[in-house]
Structure 1
Amino acid sequence: MDRQMISRLAHAHHPIAAPVSDGAVATLLERALAPEDEGRVLDLGCGQGGWLLRALVARPRWRAVGVDLDAAALTRARESAEAAGVQRRLGLHHLDAREFTAREPFELILNVGATHSFGGLLPTLAAAREHLAPGGRVLVGECFWECEPSSAALGSLGSAREEYADLATTVDRVVADGWTPVFGHVSSRPEWDAYEFSWTGSLAAWALDHPEHPDAADARAAADLHRAEWLHGYRGTLGFVTLLLRRD
């Protein structure tokens, strides 16, 4: 089954594709958007546009641009923007985020849970810097190790120990790269659990509701595998931090 389709189905009830609650999203955006009455926001890996739509609803004078490789997710973002009445202030690009270019810089750049698009956290920040207006901010979300990962956790994630660091080291690396954290949010265990149950549950429910679909069995298998990998592997080991950053 196509990985992009799995992701779309799994995020049907949790369009913020990260373990971040609606309340935390609202608080993060309030801090990220607060300095200006108007501006431009770019999401490098926007998916279904969850962050951008919330930003545009909260700030009627802001404009937004989203970039993603999933054409179907972008279609859903357009539909949601029309339903919210913000479609005229939203531009969407079906493009590899590494290839995106713009004539004007952005006051806010987002990449939450999509640093893999650039090969990791610091390469993502380097890419964001190219699009950032003077005095602008970056909102980036990245995984970290809550505790030393076991072989079971690494196996379930398909990750190497070196792929992430602990929280302190993660923040230290960002600071050493010339950024200053001005706000942040560490996802709680309830946020993680709600996200994972939504991910696996939405995918499994789709399979139950579409038993004749040729992808139903694959969807159910993907949901069952992901649930087992989470519960028996990385639950309590993998953390997630969302940082609001400014350049020194």
Structure 2
Amino acid sequence: MDMLKFFAITHREHILCNPMSLEKLDQLITLLSLKPGARVLDIATGKGEFLIRLAERYRQMTGTGVDISPYCIADLRRKHQQRVPDVQLHYLEMDGASFVPEALESFDLAACIGASWIFGGHRQTLNALQKMAAPASWIVVGEPFWRHEPHPEYLEAIGMTESALGTHYQNTEAGREHWLELAYTLVSSQDDWDRYEGLQWYAAETWAGDHRDDPDAET
């Protein structure tokens, strides 16, 4: 199955395509305190819920959402028209790593939440966003981390090495290495992960049951 189609199917029940509660997301949005006219960039915007909720709170902002998935861009376009049609939002269907802003250091908020693989890792993502963010602006990232040392069998099962991720502390220190000031962190709880993973299982199972004639239903 095409991976973009697979992602769209397994996330069709999700409001937010990350293991984060909407309460935590709304708290983050409140803390950002964007000024009128703020320019926002969201790389790997997914269904665009972060961008849309920002627009609902900060009606005078402008925003750009970038995602490689046509399914996600379609969701973002629909949300824009239904919820914040008066806010100037742009959406680009493309690889986030290929996005080039009209001017460097021009965004008041540059984000890439849960998709650092686009740029080749956490530090590379910070470096890319830093080039796009204006001085004294916000950079928002979401990065997995090890809660404890992973078991070799677990690493083998998921096809990863321990060095692929750091600890929460190491993730925050990476920002300091880029001369960024840490202002706030939030951590996904077990409940956040249960909801995120559980909705994927449910969505895949119900889709397969409803599309038995689809060649991809068995894959």
TM-score scaled to structure 2, two decimals?
Answer: 0.93
Q: Which residue of 2 aligns with 1:37?
A: 36
Counterpart contact for 1:115–1:121, Cα < 8 Å: yes
Q: Which residue of 2 aligns with 1:18?
A: 18
After TM superposition, give the deviation of residue 7 of structure 1 in Å.
0.8
1:169 aligns with 2:170: yes
Unmatched segments (≥5 aa) in structure 2 = none
Alignment-mate amino acid for residue 42 of structure 2: D
Alignment-mate amino acid for residue 37 of structure 1: P
Q: Which residue of 1 aligns with 2:183?
A: 182
Task: Give the distance between the partners of 1:49 and 1:213, measured in 2 at CA.
Answer: 28
**Higher strand content, 1 or 2:** 1
Change (3 A) 1:77 1:35: closer
Change (3 A) 1:91 1:35: closer
Q: Which residue of 2 aligns with 1:236?
A: none
After TM superposition, give the deviation of residue 199 of structure 1 in Å.
1.5
Question: How many residues of Structure 1 are paired with residues of Structure 2 in the alignment?
Answer: 217
My pick for the range that moved more, 95-104 or 66-75, is 95-104
CA deviations over 1:28-64 (Å, ceiling 9, x no partner): 11112x1423311101111221211111112111111
Counterpart contact for 1:9–1:206, Cα < 8 Å: yes
Task: Give the distance between the partners of 1:100 and 1:170, measured in 2 at CA.
Answer: 24
Unmatched segments (≥5 aa) in structure 1 = 219-248
Q: Which residue of 2 aligns with 1:230?
A: none
Change (3 A) 1:156 1:16: farther
TM-score scaled to structure 1, two decimals?
Answer: 0.83
Alpha-carbon RMSD? 1.5
Q: Which residue of 1 aligns with 2:59?
A: 60
After TM superposition, give the deviation of residue 180 of structure 1 in Å.
1.4
After TM superposition, give the deviation of residue 170 of structure 1 in Å.
2.0
Once the two structures are superposed, the pairs formed by residues 185-200 of structure 1 within 5 Å of their partners are 185-200=186-201
Q: Which residue of 2 aligns with 1:147?
A: 148
Task: Give the distance between the partners of 1:51 and 1:35, measured in 2 at CA.
Answer: 14
Counterpart contact for 1:45–1:114, Cα < 8 Å: yes
CA deviations over 1:98-122 (Å, ceiling 9, x no partner): 2212224110011101100000011
Q: Which runs of 4+ in 1 moved over 4 A?
A: none
Question: What SS does the corresponding residue of 1:185 show, helix, strand or coil?
Answer: coil
Task: Give the distance between the partners of 1:20 and 1:182, measured in 2 at CA.
Answer: 18
